């Protein structure tokens, strides 16, 4: 029985081959014309000669193809969902990073403004104190010089007062500069801390 079906299969294949070989060619488009009913009849008869185990195999292959198609569809949907979620995460991270940068810049600018104002105030105060001391020393020196009997002593004291005033001025100026440096160092440290926090946040999002 199986041998007879195999012979019939080859016979049907030969007839289909002859049908194709004897078909008319359509000019210019390189196609042929076939008798649809006859070719369809041969196809159906050929399918009847296929052994049951091959038909089962074909069914299994069809099922595998459906499974592969479903798996591919699920994979594509999963990939699309993951990509969308990743884009959302990246967008949120970018927004948060921009907010952190803006906040750090605002804090740094505020710290610098505060430090600058304090430094300017201290320098102005030191200069005012120094000017007042110099003016007082000059006034006292002039008063002492005006008295003829103590001209020499007045000149010496006046010089000493002037030198003392200059020393005090330099001391106040040095203190003011030290205070300014401390404020600027604190501002720089605060800015570095904000930048370090920003870099840590950026690295955290980059590693996700």
Give residue-wise pLDDT tens across range 123-136: 788 788 878 888 88
Q: Is residue 158 helix, strand or coil?
A: helix
Compute the radius of gyration of the chain from its Cα atoms: 50
For 43, counting Cβ atoms within 10 Å of its Cβ (0-12 exposed, 13-18 middle, 19+ buried), the class is exposed
- Answer for the pair 13, 5: CB distance below 8 angstroms, yes or no: no
Residue 94: pLDDT band (50, 70, 90) is confident
Determine the longest span between alpha carbons in the chain, in angstroms.
155
What's the pLDDT band for 41 if we cut at 50, 70, 90?
very high
Give dist(CA 173, CA 44) in Å, integer.
109
**How far is the C-alpha of 125 from the C-alpha of 146, rounded, in Å?**
31
Distance CA 150, CA 137 (A): 16
Intra-chain end-to-end CA distance of the chain, in Å: 66
Which carries the bigger pLDDT value, residue 119 or residue 164?
Answer: 164
- What's the rounded Cα separation, in Å, for the pair 78 and 39? 44
Assign 143 a pLDDT band (cuts: 50, 70, 90): confident
Please give the mean pLDDT across all residues of the chain: 79
The answer to whether the beta carbons of residues 205 and 101 sit under 8 Å apart is: no
pLDDT at 191: 85
| Residue 190 CB coordination number (10 Å) | 17
In sign, the C-alpha dihedral spanning 84, 90, 96, 102 is negative
**pTM, 2 dp:** 0.34
pLDDT digits over 178-202, tens only? 888 888 888 888 888 888 888 888 8
Hey, which of 31-35, 92-96, 149-153 has the most confident mean pLDDT?
31-35
């Amino acid at each position: 029985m199986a041998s007879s079906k195999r012979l019939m299969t080859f016979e049907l294949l030969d007839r289909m081959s002859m049908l194709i070989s004897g078909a008319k060619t359509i000019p210019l488009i390189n196609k042929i014309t076939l008798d649809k009913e006859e070719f369809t009849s041969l196809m159906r008869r050929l399918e009847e000669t296929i052994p049951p185990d091959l038909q089962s195999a074909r069914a299994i292959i069809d099922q595998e193809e459906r499974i592969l198609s479903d798996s591919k569809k699920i994979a594509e949907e999963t990939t699309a969902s993951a990509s969308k979620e990743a884009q959302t995460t990246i967008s949120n991270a970018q927004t948060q990073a921009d907010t952190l940068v803006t906040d750090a810049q605002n804090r740094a600018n505020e710290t610098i403004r505060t430090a600058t104002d304090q430094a300017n105030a201290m320098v102005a105060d030191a200069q005012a104190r120094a000017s007042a001391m110099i003016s007082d020393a000059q006034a006292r020196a002039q008063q002492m010089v005006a008295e003829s009997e103590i001209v020499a002593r007045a000149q010496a004291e006046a010089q000493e007062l002037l030198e003392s005033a200059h020393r005090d001025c330099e001391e106040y100026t040095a203190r003011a500069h030290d205070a300014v440096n401390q404020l600027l160092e604190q501002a720089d440290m605060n800015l570095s801390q904000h930048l370090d926090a920003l870099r840590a946040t950026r690295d955290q999002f980059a590693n996700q």
